[in-house]
Amino acid sequence: MTDVAERARFHAALGDPIRLHIVDHLILNDLSPGELARLLGLSSNLLAHHLRVLEAAGIVGRNRSEGDGRRSYVRLRVEHPMVAALALAPRLDQGLRGKRRVVFVCTRNSARSQLAASAWRLVSRMPAASAGTHPARRVHPGAVRVARRHGLPLTDTATRHIADVVRAEDLVVAVCDNVHEELPDQPRLHWSVPDPVPNASDSVFEATLSDIVHRVGQLADAMHSPSTQN
């Protein structure tokens, strides 16, 4: 496919208000088709049609849940330059505005949530913390190594339970599928970031950190935009 043809298919896929709304909802959040259908008030068949168009154009992809394997989560394919350009102006939903701290949560609080909180401290003065639903005894050595290689301030390596950390004024970001599916239904963000620990190679931790750093940067932009300061 030529570059012009690819661009034409890309823009044609976005030439529908519903598909633009889908993209807007995915800029800061990975969502299951069921979650998208409820947010947009669409039937499952109609949503499936729009998702097929967006997938065919390379705008979205799907991750199989690491928790409930029957689920999948739709995410923007931000590795595509034109998709990345769509996500330059992220916006927070009304229910997530006015928060005073960001808390990143994964199952073990040993890798993804720790890296996300550390990456956040480089781009924002807003306080950040991390927690787990089933905390490990320590932060995984692979997470410590990748943080050191990239100069992340991973100074507090204690793991903590979510019940001891999260407060009502916090913005909770579930950085794994298990946590998203385990937590009660309440306003939060969800990033479907695969767990690097089972493989534990440096390259996998590098990929995980790259994904997290991109998402953290987008969230910081949204949190600090004028529209979210009221």
Interval 190-211: pLDDT, tens:
999 999 999 999 999 999 999 9
Selection from 117, 44, 90, 128 nearest residue 219 by Cα: 90
Q: Tell me how far apart the alpha carbons of residues 135 and 212 are, in angstroms, rounded to a whole number.
A: 20
Last residue of a domain, one of 47, 63, 86: 86
If one counts every other C-beta atom within 10 angstroms of the C-beta of residue 28, the result is 23
Rounded to a whole number of angstroms, the CA Rg of the chain reads 18
Query: Which strand (E) or helix (H) includes residue 83?
Result: helix 81-86
Are 170 and 115 part of one and the same domain?
yes
Residues of the domain holding 147? 94-228
Residue 2: the pLDDT is: 60
Checking if the pLDDT of 55 tops 50, the result is: yes
As a whole number, mean pLDDT of residues 32-49 equals 96
Residue with tokens 């991109």: 214
Are 99 and 80 part of one and the same domain?
no
**3-state secondary structure at position 194:** coil
Are 123 and 24 part of one and the same domain?
no
Q: Residue 141: which CATH number? A: 3.40.50.2300
Kindly report the average pLDDT of the chain as a whole number: 92
Tokens standing for 81? 């330059």
Are 210 and 107 part of one and the same domain?
yes
Name the band, by pLDDT with cuts 50, 70 and 90, for residue 1: very low
Which residues partner with 64 through β-bridges? 72
Are 70 and 117 part of one and the same domain?
no
Are 64 and 134 part of one and the same domain?
no
* 102, burial (CB in 10 Å: exposed 0-12, middle 13-18, buried 19+): buried
Are 110 and 75 part of one and the same domain?
no
Residue 224: the pLDDT is: 80
Are 77 and 106 part of one and the same domain?
no
Last residue of a domain, one of 86, 103, 118: 86
Residue 140: the pLDDT is: 95
Are 16 and 124 part of one and the same domain?
no
Phi, psi of 39 (to 5 degrees): -60, -40
Domain count within the chain: 2
Q: What is the DSSP letter of 183?
A: S
Any alpha helices (H) in 89-157, and if so which ranges? Answer: 112-123, 141-149
Are 121 and 38 part of one and the same domain?
no
Residue 105: the pLDDT is: 98
Query: Which strand (E) or helix (H) includes residue 131?
Result: strand 128-132
Last residue of a domain, one of 86, 102, 123: 86
With beta carbons less than 8 A apart as the criterion, state whether 101 and 171 touch.
yes
Are 217 and 121 part of one and the same domain?
yes
Kindly report the pTM of this predicted structure: 0.91
Are 128 and 182 part of one and the same domain?
yes
Q: Residue 36: which CATH number? A: 1.10.10.10
Phi, psi of 225 (to 5 degrees): -75, 150
Name the band, by pLDDT with cuts 50, 70 and 90, for residue 165: very high
